[in-house]
Amino acid sequence: MAEITVFEAQKIITMNASRPSATHVAVRDGRVLGVGDLNDMATFGAFTLNRDFADKILTPGFVEGHAHAMEGGIWNNAYVGYMDRYDPDGNLWRGSANMEEVVATLQRLEAEMDDADTPLFAWGFDPIYFGGARMSVAELDRVSTTRSVLVLHSNGHLLNVNSHVLGLAGIGDDTNVYGVLKDDAGKPTGELMEMAAKYMAYKATGNPFFGSIKHAALEGYAKSARNCGTTTATDLFATFDEGSLAAYREVTSRPDYALRLMPAMNTLDKPFAEGIADLNAAKKDSNDRLHYGLCKVMTDGSIQGFTGRLKWPGYHNGAPNGLWNMPPEQLAELVMEYHKAGMHLHIHTNGDEASEVMIDAVEAAQLAHYRPDHRHTLQHCQMADASQFRRMANIGLCANLFANHIYYWGDQHAAITMGPDRASRMDACATALRHNVPLAIHSDAPVTPLAPLFTAWCAVNRLTVSGAVLGPEERIDAAAALHAITLGAAYTLHMDHLVGSIEPGKYADFAVLDADPLAVDAGAIKDIGVWGTIVGGIAHQAAVKSG
Amino acid sequence: MNAAKQPIIFTVVGGFLGAGKTSLVNRILAAGGPARFAVLVNDFGALNIDESLILSQTGKIMKLANGCICCSLAGGLVDAMLELAKYYDHLDHILIEASGVSNPSRIMDFARIDGELRPGLTIVLVDLVHFEEQLDNKLLAETIEAQIESADLFLLTKSDLVSVAQIDHVTALLTGRQPLVPVVTLDQQQEDFASFLVFDDTALPPFSKPAGHHHDDRLLHSFHSIAMACDLPIDRARFSAIVKDHSARILRGKGVVNFADSLPEDGHSIWQQTGRLIEITNMPSPDNTPDISGTSRIIAISTDDLAPLEDAFRTLGFTPAPNI
């Protein structure tokens, strides 16, 4: 008989309502045998007592329902965002508080590069914090005039390049194409938007984000997860090409891989029947650390990119309505076909019009092919109002709300995109719960950092960067937030029988914390130290933060 | 990039879901011809490709025995074009089936920005049965308007399912928005018309056998045509204004024009036009210049009466020249 290990903790928060807290948990075969006190443990038979975490708090391993494995690989490029960030190995990447700091960061990284021909790619640039200042070739030419320098904005829509890239791409004063921004003198500023301009830049320099997911990215993703107490995470927009499927299979087959990975297949780029067949075929590859079954649908764009699809009265600043990724009629057909085939849909909707179209589609699918427990989930669902949450509850739709947005861009949403009234109902966690919509909250890493305790802090406090409280009525309590990053998220992934709480039969996946998130001040939830994780009964210590 | 290579002509087939874009692409493919073309589509399966012609398929790219390439739009247009760019040296023409929600102008921008490409036609298909309903749909209105805005030429489809009055009504809705864009009803009789427009890159007549393609002469019988010539140098600004003002009736116009302001080394100019797509370029090389002794020669076809265009050209000194 396999060995039993008993972990002792200061407190174990189980998220199992039948037995909410304990001091000991017995683990056998990577699964929870039972929780209780030391006396209860003796009833399971001989065990090894592990007291490494006797002064720690154990919670269920956190479940990140909406993030991307690119989080693990993007750090090969230069981070030039506003906030400090840590990479998977614990290295600090300092935020850039203004344009000069962005330039200084790039200059430093450029100086460290060996090969003169390798392009310098940077990501996370977010001048929304710089009070209207825009980057141009003037700044990037101070980084290099002989090496290609490309800076991708955090909104994903804009790309800044230096003169060297403009030259390679043949973009000059006589280029008159939408998306090539020009200054008053008619010269390209180096700011490129829309597909054609970005194509031209990448044609000249290569696109670092092109191609299958890499082994190294998946390894980095597991490290990032470990650092923040996450033991189950999605890769919520996965291309099911041979290279990516092989990478998922090979990396997760290693016994020390510290993450249960859930790739969600992109449904938009293939015929419905082919996508359904591909997903069913991929399921054969599933193992304890690789769980297939999710599909991703993209409907609209983003709110801060003004590409989300909004109902009346539209964008607060009068910007035109956003963009569909596919005709709504075809999106509805996709939902119908995948639903009929028993698939589990995760549907990106940012604007309330996009949410409405998808609620209509799922309702139609339920009427045609009733499924009692589909757990389709609206992802982001940032602008849903109470009436939409009521409908979602009626048809069994779950919500995974983008709580981190409140902190990162809440000020801009109140001032520019949504106005103060609608901004107060963004990512309306309390409304979702009031109407019994199963709730998860997420980071969308690498868009914002992978850190469920931070995401929970956002939902509990709703503080913005400026310190304002955005929509106090939508705050939820710490217990509800902890549920949303554990069992709540697990429910939206159809994984609540395996992860999300500490109870017999489930994977022995725990977050190992320095303090009790239910006991600390609401404002301190994000500051709780994370020792690391236990995945399948094996402990993985977080990277030591440096810098 | 091979400097001697002509730019690749870039054609966009746009229009809303169900308007018949895929079947039009299939017709254009079937017309084939010597052009080495790449077609970008969402779904290989929807193309009528004889499997015996498939040489290889790796990732996004399917190579065919006739030198043509099919490229999947999976992963997005930017990635697809970056992949396809590896084959530019072996291509004459790229044809893109735009998704129903895309703005064809933003796709044509690829050809406007990349010197290896040359903007060709933006054809926008309009579903006669559902067009009005689509215009009224608040979810789609901006998308449809953007598609209308981008068109060089409208092709009306599903004409067998609607009345003549409905065709007139839709035509009026389109011309009200885009008075300079021709509207053509695509019916059985004219089904090869689009491929003719896409592949005819010859500067001179005859229309019926452009560039070695084999079109049925009967195709042209349903059209009005004019052929004119002029021995005097032509005023460039007035010529340009005329062809622009009449672009709604010029389904295909072409010719060799001797402009008064041309420099000797520029030689004659070539005029090529399909609806709103107007190109006036210098002769590529003196070797190819036909001996026309300073004479300008032009022809045009239309589904409309061409008398107003003929009258306008007469003001420049052109006279009918049936033997072109």
- Count of CB contacts below 8 A, A vs B? 93
pLDDT digits (tens, 9 = 90+) for A98-136: 999 999 999 999 999 999 899 999 999 999 899 878 999
Determine the Cα angle at A349 with ends A347 and A351, to 5°: 170
Burial B124-143 (b: 16+ CB within 10 A, else e): bbbbbbbbeebbebebbeeb
Q: Give the residue from B231, B223, B232, B220 showing the smallest Cα distance to B309.
A: B223
> From CA A543, how far away is CA B1, in angstroms rounded?
48
Q: Are A382 and A357 in contact (CB under 8 A)?
A: no
pLDDT digits (tens, 9 = 90+) for A303-333: 998 999 999 999 999 999 999 999 999 999 9
The answer for residues whose C-beta is within 8 angstroms of residue A131's C-beta and 6 or more apart is none
- Closest residue in A to B107 (Cα–Cα): A196
Average pLDDT, chain B: 84
Give chain A positions within 8 Å (CB) of B109: 177-179, 194-197
Determine what percent of chain B is predicted with pLDDT higher than 70: 85
| Whether A330 and B106 lie within 8 Å, measured CB to CB | no
**Which residue from B75, B99, B139 is facing A239, i.e. has the nearest CB?**
B75
> From CA A112, how far away is CA A391, in angstroms rounded?
55
User: How close is the nearest chain B Cα to the Cα of A268, in Å?
Assistant: 8
Would residue B122 be called left, alpha or beta, if left means φ above 0 and alpha means ψ between -120 and 50 degrees? beta
| Residue to test with chain A: of B41, B87, B88, B113, most A Cβ within 10 A | B113
**Beta strand pairing call for A57-60 and A62-64:** unpaired
- Closest residue in A to B142 (Cα–Cα): A321
> From CA B99, how far away is CA A170, in angstroms rounded?
28
| Whether B112 and A196 lie within 8 Å, measured CB to CB | yes
> From CA B15, how far away is CA B147, in angstroms rounded?
7
Q: Which of A436-450, A502-516, B53-67 has the lowest mean pLDDT?
A: B53-67
Tokens of B210: 């452009």
CA dihedral in degrees (A382, A383, A384, A386; nearest 10)? Answer: 120
Peptide bond into A313 cis (omega under 30): yes
The strand ranges marked E within A305-359 are: 344-349
B interface residues, A as partner, C-beta within 8 Å: 16-17, 42-43, 45, 59, 72-79, 81-82, 85, 99-101, 105-107, 109-110, 112-115, 139-140, 142-143
| Whether B73 and A171 lie within 8 Å, measured CB to CB | no
- Closest residue in B to A322 (Cα–Cα): B142
pLDDT at A265: 97
Q: Are A494 and A345 in contact (CB under 8 A)?
A: no
Overall pTM surpassing 0.90 (yes/no): yes
The helix (H) or strand (E) run that includes residue A39 is helix A38-42
| Whether A269 and B142 lie within 8 Å, measured CB to CB | no
User: Using 50, 70 and 90 to split pLDDT, how confident is the model at B222?
Assistant: low
Average pLDDT, chain A: 96
> From CA B99, how far away is CA B134, in angstroms rounded?
15
User: Using 50, 70 and 90 to split pLDDT, how confident is the model at B202?
Assistant: low
Q: Give the residue from A418, A410, A407 showing the smallest Cα distance to A383.
A: A418
A interface residues, B as partner, C-beta within 8 Å: 169-171, 175-180, 194-200, 202-203, 207, 210, 239, 241, 269-271, 274, 309, 320-321, 323-330, 353, 357
Q: Are A428 and A401 in contact (CB under 8 A)?
A: yes
| Residue to test with chain B: of A239, A300, A306, A324, most B Cβ within 10 A | A324
> From CA A222, how far away is CA A213, in angstroms rounded?
14
pLDDT at A28: 98
**Which residue from B73, B81, B100 is facing A330, i.e. has the nearest CB?**
B100
User: How close is the nearest chain B Cα to the Cα of A321, in Å?
Assistant: 8
The answer for residues whose C-beta is within 8 angstroms of residue B297's C-beta and 6 or more apart is B204, B227, B228, B229, B255, B256, B321, B324
- Closest residue in B to A310 (Cα–Cα): B139
Give the residues across from A122 on adjacent strands.
A78, A151
User: Using 50, 70 and 90 to split pLDDT, how confident is the model at B211?
Assistant: very low
ipTM score of complex: 0.89
User: Using 50, 70 and 90 to split pLDDT, how confident is the model at B220?
Assistant: low
**Count of positions (residues) in chain A:** 547
Average pLDDT over residues B96-120: 94
Helix, strand and coil percent figures for chain A, each rounded to 5: 35, 20, 45
Average pLDDT over residues A137-152: 97
> From CA B99, how far away is CA B120, in angstroms rounded?
18
pLDDT at A1: 59
pLDDT at B208: 45
Give chain B positions within 8 Å (CB) of A195: 76-78, 106-107, 109-110
Residue A490 burial class via C-beta count within 10 angstroms: exposed 0-12, middle 13-18, buried 19 and up: buried
Q: Is the pLDDT of residue B286 over 80?
A: no
**Which residue from A194, A270, A274 is facing B106, i.e. has the nearest CB?**
A194
| Whether B113 and A195 lie within 8 Å, measured CB to CB | no
Q: Is the pLDDT of residue B216 over 60?
A: no
Q: Is the pLDDT of residue B189 over 70?
A: no
Give the residues across from B272 on adjacent strands.
B254, B279
Q: Is the pLDDT of residue B190 over 80?
A: no
Tokens of A391: 């409908």
Q: Is the pLDDT of residue A34 over 50?
A: yes
Average pLDDT over residues B108-130: 95
pLDDT at A483: 98
| pLDDT, greater one: A62 or B66 | A62
Determine the Cα angle at A523 with ends A520 and A529, to 5°: 60
> From CA A59, how far away is CA A56, in angstroms rounded?
10
Q: Tokens 């008075």 — which residue?
A: B179
Give chain A positions within 8 Å (CB) of B107: 195-196
- Sheet of A158-161, strand order: A78-79, A120-125, A149-153, A158-161, A188-193, A180-182
> From CA A249, how far away is CA A256, in angstroms rounded?
14
Residue A64 burial class via C-beta count within 10 angstroms: exposed 0-12, middle 13-18, buried 19 and up: buried
> From CA B80, how far away is CA B94, in angstroms rounded?
12
